[in-house]
Every structure is written in structure tokens, then in C-alpha cells.
Amino acid sequence: MGNKETSWEPKIIAFLCNWCSYAGADLAGVGRMQYPANVRVIRVPCSGRISPFFILSSLQNGADGVLVSGCHPGDCHYLTGNYSARRKFALLKSQLEHIGIEKERVQFTWVSASEGGKFAEVINRVTETVKALGPAKRLVKKCL
Amino acid sequence: MTDVSNKIREEAGKLLEKGEVDVIIGFEKGSIPLSATPCFIRNEADIEKLIWNEYCGNNLSLYLSKARGKIGIIAKGCDTRAIVELIKEKQVQRERIVIIGVPCEGMLDRKRIMIRCQSRNITGIEDQGRQLLITGDSLNVAVEKDEFFYPACQVCANRNPVMCDVFIGNTIEEQKTDEFTDVTDFNEKPSEERWAYITDEIDRCIRCYACRNACPLCYCKECFVDATQPQWVGKTIEQSDTLSFHIMRSIHLAGRCIECGACERACPVMVDIRKLNRKMSADVKNMFGYKTGLDIDQPAPLSVFKPDDSEEFILDI
Ligand code: SF4
Ligand code: SF4
Ligand code: FES
């Protein structure tokens, strides 16, 4: 087990839209850019496909952070998926903060297929922030 | 109150007599003190059962999505707001209902009054206008009504029906409620304190779902919380599952909840459910400029978007 203090690494679930952010992640890989191995990627057809349930389930089941990334506004493959998603996410994030869950644990961003560098940077930033917060304690299930 | 009851009986009687409605949904005397019970009147002979008083808290629009035929419904301000949303969401057709609107100066919180009466057996209630004199087994208390209106009523800005076919009584003055100060006050507390408050409340929840069942806007045939394929929320009363249920419910009601407080009234353990719903109402108003239950033609805020909606929360690198 080792010393928890020093060996702990955050688990971050990243929901990436197939058409942009997932391709952005691919590009980061092809370009051999370095980013922390803390993210577990789940590919979704569009940011509009992501239900607040996905995010809550992640937090309940052991994620220390959740990242959602879709196409830039105006670039959604299905035209408006990310616009509708943006309203939902704004409310979810605000509600989580309201009840006292650290708002930095849930992050939203836009990464296009050509932004491999941005993808790596986002992962760096999110990992750092979540690391600074420490392991998630609130909303985590005690028995899985 | 008796005038209003009489007027309701008169109007309801006319509607039944002319065959304009098949059923009247209203209130009858409750079986315990300080209560009124929803009732369904189909015959003119039963019209005398209908009453109106300060215990008619239930949101009767709950029954609209379930009842058949033409319906006459007695509705307070908040109830009419729920009806607006239900029509918008196509759960009931406007032509199918006759709304008998009644202005409301607030409904009394039976549970809190009972606590004040130490849950003793009540034998007499004398209504003195602003006060209730309650007597019973070694009980003799004066209850100031002002202190016992439901939290939802205290901040209600629509005491008059927002839409109706028959209006009973006189229009009353709306409260100058400085909206959502409760939400801002709570938000200003440190996160630790907010978490402690919310979990304290949620830990009492026994997952009976009375809140959902009493909510007029919770009409889904299968609620997410009952779904098993996939099972979104665990079935335990562990804090994580219970809280997830309540967070999800508030999100599902965002831009739909009309703040009637029916959920809170139904809760057997007095969980402060509105803490979550009010937050969503405040956000929907501040972020999208929308207030629920006022305008049938205004689309629900989560069914539309603006290209320039706020991006403040988006991580920008
Ligand atoms: S959530 Fe509560 S306050 Fe909102 S509409 Fe439903 S019952 Fe009324
Ligand atoms: S009514 Fe109260 S106890 Fe029942 S599920 Fe709702 S919050 Fe929990
Ligand atoms: S397709 Fe990428 S956000 Fe809709």
C-alpha cells in the first residue's frame, strides 16, 4: 500500500466528444505530447449525449474529478448538442457547488480535433487542480 | 373563508349541473385537525363537501395528468403556475380543464403547528383571524399564523392565480418578496457549512419518494430513481445514493419547478428539499432569465439555448 500521502494519484474520468476532443486527444498522442496518466477516457458521440447522471455516477463511484469536453460552440457535429449541454452543465456545476462539493472537481471545456496541445494542457491543469484538492470525500459511496 | 367556500360550491355546482365538467377536484374537510383532504366531486349532491381554508396546501394540479374527462379544478396561485407548465409540457390540454382560481394568503404548516402543540391531542381550534387558539389534552396555546405559513408561501410572489376561467373572491396584494435572498444567503456560507447542512437534512431521508409523488411536475411514467436498466441511482439510504437522488431530482426539475412546496409538505421527516430546488430556480432566472409557470408560450429554458449563453464556468486555457 505504501504511504497514502505520497502515493495517491487522482482518478479523473474524461467524457470526450468523438468528433473533436477525442480526436484532439488522439492528436496529442500522435504528436507524443506528455500529459499525466490520471485520466480514463470515455468516448461519447457528442457533449449533448452526456447526462448529469454520468457525472454524478462517476463521483459516486470513485472518481476524484470529472472532465467533460466537447466541440467549440458553433462546431458541434450535430449543430446544437453542445449549446444544449452547456445549459445543463452550468446548472449541474452550480448545484454541486451550492451543496458544498468542491467546484473544481467537475470541469467543462471545449477542445477541437486540431488542438492536441490544448488537450494535453487541459489534462495537466485538471490533474493538478484535483491533486491539490486531495481525494474526493463527498458524495463518494462507502460500499461499492 | 366561509364566503369563499360557498362561492366555490356555487361555481362548482354550476359547472357540474351544466355538464361542463365531469369532475371537480377540490378540498374536503380533513380527518385530522388542521388539515384538508383533496376530493373528487362527480355528483351535484356532494357539492357541500367542498371547503376552503388555510389548510388547503396540496397542489391539486398533481391529479390533472392522471384524471380523465373534463376537469374543474380549484387552484391557488402556485397551482395555476403548475398548470401552465403542465399545459406547456402537454400533460393536459387547456380545453379539458376549467380553472376555478382562488387567491391565497398562505397556507399553514400543520407539522410545525403540531410540534408547537407538542403533538398533543387537539380537541378545539378557534380561529381568531391572525391567531389560532388551540386547546386539547393539557393544551392551551395561541399560535400566531404569521409564524406558521409554509416556507414556500413566505416567499411566494404569485398569490393570485396567473390564469383562470372563474375567479373567486378579490385580487389580493402580492408580497414584495425580495426573491432568492434565501439562496444567496446560503451560498455565502463556507462550503463546509453548506455541506454539513445539506447532508444533515439528506441523512434523514428514508427514500419514501413522497416528495416526488406529491410534485405535479414529477409525472414521468418511470422515474429515473426506479429505473434498473441502467440503474442510475443506488437503492440504499446511504448518503451518496440519497443525495444523488435529490441532486438529480432538482436538475430534472430545473426550469420546471414552480416552487409550490408540495414536496416539502409531503415529506414525513421534514427534509429541506426546497434548498435544492430554490437554487435551480434562482439559477434559471439569473442565467436564462426565466421564471416558471407564468407564460404558456415561453419555451422551457432547457429546451432552448442562446449562442451567447454564459461561458463563465468553462475551463479556458
Ligand atoms: S419540486 Fe417541490 S416545489 Fe417544485 S414543483 Fe415539485 S413539489 Fe412543487
Ligand atoms: S419525502 Fe422526504 S423522506 Fe421521502 S424521499 Fe422525499 S425527502 Fe426523502
Ligand atoms: S459533436 Fe462534439 S459536442 Fe456535439
ipTM of the complex: 0.93
If one counts the domains in chain B, the total is: 3
Q: Is the pLDDT score of A143 beyond 80?
A: no
Q: Determine, for residues A118 and B186 on separate chains, whether the beta-carbon distance falls below 8 Å.
A: no
CB-CB under 8 Å, A143 with B238: yes
* pLDDT score, position A144: 67
Instruction: Of B315, B46, B248, give the one whose Cα is nearest residue A139.
Output: B248
**Residues B97, B121 within the same domain:** no
- In the predicted model, is pLDDT for residue A2 greater than 60? no
B261 lines ligand 1 (CB under 6 A): yes
Residues B171 and B259 in one domain: no
Contacts of A11 (CB under 8 A, 6+ apart): A38, A40, A62, A63, A64, A65
pLDDT of residue A82: 96
To the nearest whole Å, the CA of B80 is away from the closest chain A CA by: 26
Ligand 2 atom nearest B263 alpha carbon: 1
Same domain, B121 and B64: no
Work out the average pLDDT over A4-12.
Answer: 83
- Judge: A95–B276 Cβ closer than 8 Å, yes or no: yes
Same domain membership, residue B238 and residue B185: yes
Q: Would you say residue B160 lies in a domain?
A: yes
Contacts of B287 in chain A (CB under 8 A): 87, 90-91
In this structure, what C-alpha cell is assigned to residue B1?
A: 373563508
Which residues of A fall within a CB distance of 8 Å from B305?
80, 83-84, 86-87
Residue A79 touches chain B, beta carbons under 8 Å: no
Indicate whether B258 and B211 sit together in one domain. yes
* Same domain (yes/no): B75, B120: no
Is residue B187 in a domain? yes
Q: For residues B24 and B97, what is the distance between their CA atoms, to the nearest angstrom?
A: 10
Q: Does B94 sit in the ligand 2 pocket, CB within 6 Å?
A: no
Q: Which residues of A touch B310 (CB under 8 A)?
A: 90
Residue B317, in any domain of the structure:
no
B21 occurs within a structural domain: yes
Q: A68, A79, A99: best mutation site toward chain B, by most B Cβ within 10 Å?
A: A99
Which pLDDT value is given to residue B262? 96
Mean of pLDDT values over A45-60 = 96
Q: Which atom of ligand 1 is nearest to the CA of B152?
A: 3
Residue A5: which pLDDT band, with cuts at 50, 70 and 90?
A: low
Which residues in chain B touch residue A102, judged by CB atoms under 8 angstroms apart?
191
Q: Which 169-188 residues of chain B touch chain A by CB within 8 A?
A: 183, 186-187
In this structure, the residue with its CA closest to atom 2 of ligand 2 is B267
The pLDDT, as a whole number, for residue B249 is 97
Helix axes B239-252, A52-60, angle to 10 degrees: 170
Q: CATH class for domain A2-133?
A: alpha beta
Is the CB of B240 less than 8 angstroms away from the CB of A139? yes
In a domain, B74, yes or no: yes
- pLDDT for the residue A28: 95
DSSP for chain B, written as a single string: -HHHHHHHHHHHHHHHHTTS-SEEEEEEE-SSTT-EEEEEE-SGGGGGG-B--TT--S-GGGGTTT--S-EEEEE-HHHHHHHHHHHHTTSS-GGGEEEEE---S--B-HHHHHHHTTTPPEEEEEE-SSEEEEEETTEEEEEEGGGGB-HHHHT-S--S-SS-SEE-S---PPP---TTHHHHHHHHS-HHHHHHHHHHHHTT-----HHHHH-TT---SS-TTT--TT--S-SS-SHHHHHHHHHHHHHHTTTT-----HHHHH-TT---THHHHHHHHHHHHHHH---TTS-TTSPPTTS---TT---TTB---
Cell numbers found for residue A9: 494519484
Q: Are residues B130 and B242 in the same domain?
A: no
Contacts of B232 in chain A (CB under 8 A): 53, 57
d(CA B294, CA B240): 35
Distances (CA, A) of B230 to A57, B199, B207: 11, 26, 19
What residue spans define the domains of chain A?
2-133
pLDDT of residue A4: 55
Confidence of residue A64 (pLDDT cuts 50, 70, 90): very high
Which residues neighbour A125 within 8 Å (Cβ) at sequence distance 6 or greater?
Answer: B315, B317
The reply to whether B265 and B275 lie within a common domain is: yes
Cα–Cα distance measured from residue B68 to residue B78, given in angstroms and rounded to the nearest whole number: 22
Residue B242 lies in a domain: yes
Question: Residues B45, B167: one domain?
Answer: yes
Domain containing residue B4: 1-107+156-177
Closest to B314 (Cβ–Cβ): which among A74, A97, A110?
A110
Q: How far is B242 from chain A (nearest CA, A)?
A: 10
Mean pLDDT of A103-130: 96
Over the range A33-59, which residues count as b (16 or more CB within 10 Å of their CB) and which as e? Answer: bebeebbebeebebbbebbbbbbbbbb
> Which tens digits make up the pLDDT trace of A98-112?
999 999 999 999 999
Q: Give residue A129's pLDDT band: very low, low, confident or very high (50, 70, 90).
A: very high
SS3 A69: strand
Residues of chain B with pLDDT under 50: none
Closest atom of ligand 2 to B207 CA is: 5
User: Cα–chain-centroid distance for residue B118?
Assistant: 26
Is there a single domain that holds both residue B86 and residue B35? yes
Name residues 221-280 of chain B within 8 A of A (Cβ). 224, 232, 234, 238, 240-241, 243-244, 247-248, 250-251, 254, 276, 279-280
Sheet holding A12-17, edge to edge: A39-44, A12-17, A65-70, A106-110
Q: What is the per-residue pLDDT for B2?
A: 77
